[in-house]
A and B are shown apart, each in its own frame.
Chain A
Amino acid sequence: MSAREAILTRVRTALGSRDRTEHPGPFGGWRPEATPLPPSQAFGERFAEAGGEVVNVATEDDARSWLNAAAGGAGSVALGATLPTELHPDAPNVAPEEAAMGISMARGAVAETGSLILDARDGRRAQLLPPFHVVVVKATDIRETLAGALRSMAEDLPSAVGLHSGPSKSADIGQILVKGVHGPGRVVALIVATVRE
């Protein structure tokens, strides 16, 4: 008998006549009081609490100006594959492992957990290897709950989705918090209020 059959047989024997309980239904995210904040603001607060930086801009033009200035300061960039060309800054474009700054286009964000949603189609290395990561997110793509965000993606999942909720951190050395252990030590969520379609 294969290991597969052996395991499934043992599972069925173990369950035997045990009560098969019901699924409790969707997660309700129960909290003492509902957050009255709009999703974009709630996301920003959570993201900042975790050590991330939040920059709000009104338009794509403003986003491009901000990215240009930041990229100029950093020196070199690695760009996400789905970042609109209008947002590409005037800085040398290099491989993610050599870039001082990565720029990714988020698929969305989650207010409840303060998470940016990053899609493998944008490229994983640019999301992880540069020490400074800027993630562009449209304000209209920020969902209230993680459950809502997962449902919106369920029919169109890439090979990997990364939820990034702040800078890389660790307290493994004597419980003292350090940033930028493997992933980026500095992360900016660049929230764009209105985007031309």
Chain B
Amino acid sequence: MSRPTPSDYAAAAAEAIRNHPDVRASVTAATRNFDAHRARAWEQIEPDAWRDWARDVKTHALTHLDRYLEQAEERLQANGTQVHWADTAEEALAVLGRIAAEGQVHRAVKAKSMLTEELGVNAYLEGRGVHVRETDLGEYIIQLLGEPPSHIVGPAIHRSVDDCRALFHEILGTPVDADPDVLAAAARSALRSDFLAADLGISGGNFLAADTGTLALIENEGNIRLSTSAPRIHVALVGIEKIVPRLDDLSGLLQITSRGATGQPVGIYVSLLQGPRRDDEPDGPEEVHVIFVDNGRTRLLADDRAWEALRCVRCGACLNICPVYRQTGGHPYGFTYSGPIGAILAPGLLGLAESMPLPYASSLCGACADVCPVRIPIPELLLHWRQQAVEAGLLPATEGLAMRAFSAASTHPGLFAAAGDVLRRIPWELGGRALPVVGGWSNERAPPAMDHRSFRARWKEGIE
């Protein structure tokens, strides 16, 4: 199965809306729920002060990234962690493959991590004979279904309870009408043996504090704590933008990320990890590796406007409030990170041409910027990428033509009136849908009947 790409966005989104109304229902309900929790959580704090602080910490970290990367490496090594660097996805996978081979790994458990989705870790390891099990309940569901995650925080939010009932009935033998409690218990039991049998635990990282070499991970189920505690080897894949200066900074970042994501004061479980098991500890991994991954991040950092997207803490608040994302969920975006943040990360991480038309998958309503805990100016960055797309000649030719025609008409009143007269008389069924720009809207919709008088004519007559 070839992975979908952003270029399929329009067709995939239309297909999802037309053929899968259940996906829209599930995603809309879930994101409204997430957003309501976030809104309530922000009423309990002074969100503006928290967001300013979080923005400034991440901006400081990113504008001193070279220094903090080196410091983090030094502290990780002092803690007994092995540090690796990877330019690309291929390099990161090769490092992981080497660790797995040297450690004679047969079975791996995975904590939820978007970076490992971005890199394609599961397929790579499976191809090398390592059995990989996703352990986050949502990730487990989509692994069984063979789907990518649909949301940064809730990977299976596009699936209903009934979908899960049918799946678990087939795979785990639960009753067809089982309650979610029963389904979760069956998954717990199946995954428990995976945890205890695994040689390798794979995680991402929410933050990495440079001064203590502390890798911080937030979750609610306990699968991340188990994945990083039970197997004898732990490998963390960490994007270079996840470095923060101090352990002290985690106090605010863990809280604002949790509040932004699910509205909790903090996730049920936070892991603060400082390397392998020590002599005075009863258990824990014998071997810990951190792989710093670039995979396009330095290219994004080099963009004088869009680098701000690297502040993202992956809370999903912008997805939850986005009226466009809510219609389809994440799959049509054809990229690991979907929704508003995905649309501004993709051009940096993948390249702009490879990311078209994602910067256009937005109504620019601005709701995302209003909720972002690190104040990423998402609509401005969408416009930035659109401008870059125009300059690079990446827009459909008809759109540029339409824009130039409109520009000419709007600066010549006589031409404007004449063009309006013509356009109002084109029958939609014959020609209207072929119009550039307008066609994209009207192809999927029943158009309203046109008045043959112009707005200005009606204004003179006196509009009721």
Contacts and interface: CB of A to CB of B under 8 A. Distances in A.
A175 B155 CA distance: 11
B184 A173 contact: yes
Nearest to B282: A123
B399 interface: no
Interface in A144-178: 145-147, 150-151, 154, 157-176, 178
Contact of B46 (A15, A24, A32): A32
B302 A180 contact: no
Interface stretch (B62-70, B317-325, B380-388, B400-408): B62-70
A46 B41 CA distance: 13
Contacts of B66: 8, 11-12, 15
Contact of B49 (A28, A171, A183): A28
A10 B221 CA distance: 38
- The prevalent SS among residues of A at the interface is loop
Given A172-B154, A182-B222, A11 B281 contact: no
Contacts of B26: 174
Contacts of B69: 7-8, 11
A13 interface: yes
A161 B184 contact: no
Chain A interface size, as a band, is 35 or more
B86 A3 contact: yes
Contact of B60 (A2, A23, A30, A50): A23
A163 B56 contact: no
A97 B196 contact: yes
Nearest to A115: B266
A115 B272 CA distance: 13
Return the 5 tightest CB-CB contacts between A and B, nearest first: A183-B222, A27-B252, A174-B161, A172-B138, A147-B251
Interface of B: 26, 29-30, 33, 44-46, 49-50, 52-53, 56-57, 59-60, 63-66, 69-70, 79, 85-87, 91, 135-138, 141, 154-157, 159-162, 164, 180-181, 183-185, 187-188, 191-192, 195-196, 212, 214, 220-223, 225-226, 228-230, 240, 245, 247-252, 254-255, 264-278, 280-284, 292, 294, 298-299, 301-302, 304, 307
